[in-house]
Structure 1
Amino acid sequence: MREWPNSYFCPLCYRNLETAQHLFSECAESRRIWAEVSSWVGSPGLDPTNWNATDTLMDWFHGLAGDSSSTLAAGSRSLAILVTWSIWKERNARVFNNAEKTVARLVEEIKDEARLWCQAGAKRLAALVVNPSSE
């Protein structure tokens, strides 16, 4: 049987117990990523200083972009999925490969990936991302 590396502590901050809620919405490192991405696109809903305390991860995720069907809300949801996926990939890189990136590097990778999504036809994300083909 293959051994599964497991630590009780968050592999991003090494301070708190690792839970999904902590990893994606409470971890100081994750919150720095969210704040940088929020600043990049000018979306206050993605800025952790504007989040409400919630009981579940699903409530928190729905609160990121609201229930609006507007183009910007849809773009925010796409970007939230991208940021969450990027945080998860970084978590796995640290746990399984002992590889660690800086917050600045992760944010640059998120920007690059968002631009690729826009080039691939993610119109609602493109409406949110400022100049997705430049920067």
Structure 2
Amino acid sequence: MGIDLHSVCCPICDEDVETPQHLFIDCIVASRLWSMVANWWRIDDYPKDLPNLITWGDTANLLQPLKACFDAVIQTRLWVIWRFKNRICFDAKPLRKDALVDEIKILSHLWINHRNRNFNPNWIEWTVDPKNAWNVVL
């Protein structure tokens, strides 16, 4: 596609070959983000393989409205890591790693809020306890 690759290693950590499994799950930055998302949602652990991770929202022990909300957070998290990787490869000044969790919270809140007019939680509540933010609206 005309793109000159200097390396096949993960541009985020430069520790392993960039594969979907590595980029989205095994990379140290990716695994830390999943742990932070799990902690944010007060869920014990996250799936360690891509197919189960993609369907994690469907299998999580949550009420149905929360499953859809949590699935949007998972999809947002995948998007954020993909954009972060591309920023490292193509932008002069990529986003800082410590800002990624905030970006997940902001984008997932915006996407959920715009897809469901009945969901308009308090922003502070969403960033602290998204399960409770949803319950306030129900």
- TM-score, shorter chain, exceeding 0.5: yes
Is it true that 1:66 corresponds to 2:58 in the alignment?
yes
Q: Name the CA shift for 1:67/1:124 in 2 (closer, same or farther; >3 Å).
A: farther
Secondary structure of the 2:126 match is coil
Which structure would you say has the larger RCO, counting Cα contacts within 8 Å and 6 or more residues apart?
1
Alpha-carbon displacement from aligned partner over 1:104-131 (angstroms, at most 9, x marks no partner): 211111111122224324479878x972
Structure 2 residue ranges without an equivalent (≥5): 130-138
The residue identity in structure 2 corresponding to 1:66 is: D
Q: Name the CA shift for 1:18/1:126 in 2 (closer, same or farther; >3 Å).
A: farther
- Partners of 1:71 and 1:124 within 8 A in 2: no
- Aligned with residue 71 of structure 2, among 57, 77, 91: 77
- Runs of 4+ off more than 6 Å: 123-127
- Partners of 2:40 and 2:128 within 8 A in 1: no
Indicate the residue corresponding to 1:11 in structure 2: 11
Indicate the residue corresponding to 2:40 in structure 1: 40
CA–CA distance in structure 2, aligned partners of residues 109 and 13 of structure 1: 19
Q: Name the CA shift for 1:122/1:82 in 2 (closer, same or farther; >3 Å).
A: farther
RMSD: 3.2
The residue identity in structure 2 corresponding to 1:3 is: G
Indicate the residue corresponding to 1:105 in structure 2: 99
Alpha-carbon displacement from aligned partner over 1:80-109 (angstroms, at most 9, x marks no partner): 000000000001111112433333211111
Q: Name the CA shift for 1:126/1:31 in 2 (closer, same or farther; >3 Å).
A: farther
Normalising by the residue count of structure 2, what TM-score does the alignment of the two structures yield? 0.72
Q: Which moved more, 1:32-41 or 1:16-25?
A: 32-41
Q: How many equivalent pairs are there?
A: 125
Alpha-carbon displacement from aligned partner over 1:52-103 (angstroms, at most 9, x marks no partner): 554xx223322x2234781222222111000000000001111112433333
Alpha-carbon displacement from aligned partner over 1:16-68 (angstroms, at most 9, x marks no partner): 10001110011110111122222223233xxxxx24554xx223322x22347
Task: Decide which structure has the larger Cα Rg and report it.
Answer: 2
Is it true that 1:94 corresponds to 2:114 in the alignment?
no
Normalising by the residue count of structure 1, what TM-score does the alignment of the two structures yield? 0.73
Q: Name the CA shift for 1:126/1:28 in 2 (closer, same or farther; >3 Å).
A: farther
